[in-house]
Amino acid sequence: MKRNLPGRIAVLVIGLWIMSLGIAFSIAAGLGTSSISSLPYTLSMLTPLTVGTATIMLHVILITLQTLILSHRYRPIQLLQLPLAVLFGLLTDASNAMLGFLSPSSYLGSWLFCLIGIILVAAGVSAEVLSGTIPLAAEGLSLALSEATGRKFGTMKASVDCTLVASSLILSSIFLRSWGGVRKGRSRQPFSWVR
């Protein structure tokens, strides 16, 4: 498990960067963001927070939930999710700044950006999983729920994703009178983990 740890960490960081680029493309598309970014994106529309800062805050909450759910079974190594959350938030803001000038000129262009975003997020998640290191907080919470309930990881991941999207929809509906960070491009994405 400890073999080639620097290489695995490099794969993880590259995966997070690719994922953050996918999020930036999704935001530029204007068709909605991934489930893990829907709530931070909505919060960034409601507050002065950036998407990256809101992402860090969400991850801190998700890590706290993991510790409460698992209690004495929570492994301290999982606290490495905190610096990972900070890195992911910073990369998200950097990617948004780097690609912020992009603006599709048509509805078809928006869908192309959305497709690029989906592919990049999927590639980033694949690299994160392939690294075999510490998961991001949403996957960590899904693992904690799976361990605590005995249910499959895929079921718990879909539940966590749906909860994040529903929270974004509720906040958007109340305060923005729109769907905010959740739209056509991500309406079916939370169910992709159900197997």
Using alpha carbons, list the distances in angstroms from residue 110 to 38, 96, 113: 17, 16, 5
- Cβ-contact 44, 51 below 8 angstroms: yes
For 148, other C-beta atoms within 10 Å of its C-beta total 14
Q: What is the mean pLDDT of the chain?
A: 89
pLDDT exceeds cutoff 80 at 125: yes
For 72-108, what is each residue's pLDDT tens digit?
A: 898 888 899 999 999 999 999 999 999 989 889 999 9
- Mean pLDDT for the stretch of residues 112-134: 94
Region 176-180: mean pLDDT is: 73
Which pLDDT score, from 0 to 100, does residue 177 have? 80
Average pLDDT over residues 147-167: 94
What pLDDT, in 10s, does the model give residues 44-68?
999 999 999 999 999 999 999 999 9
pLDDT score for 3? 76
Tokens 């960081």 sit on residue: 13
Q: Sorting pLDDT into bands at 50, 70 and 90, what band is 187?
A: very low
pLDDT average, residue stretch 126-146: 93
pLDDT digits (tens, 9 = 90+) for 16-49: 999 999 999 999 998 888 888 999 999 999 999 9
Tokens, residue 129: 């999983």
pLDDT band for 168, please (50, 70, 90 cuts). Answer: very high
Other Cβ atoms within 10 Å of 41 Cβ, number: 26
66/140 Cα distance (integer angstroms): 7
At 176, the pLDDT band (50, 70, 90 cuts) reads confident
Confidence of residue 189 (pLDDT cuts 50, 70, 90): very low
Instruction: Look up residue 28 and give its two tokens.
Output: 């530029």
Question: Coil, helix or strand for 139?
Answer: helix
For residue 180, pLDDT beyond 70: no
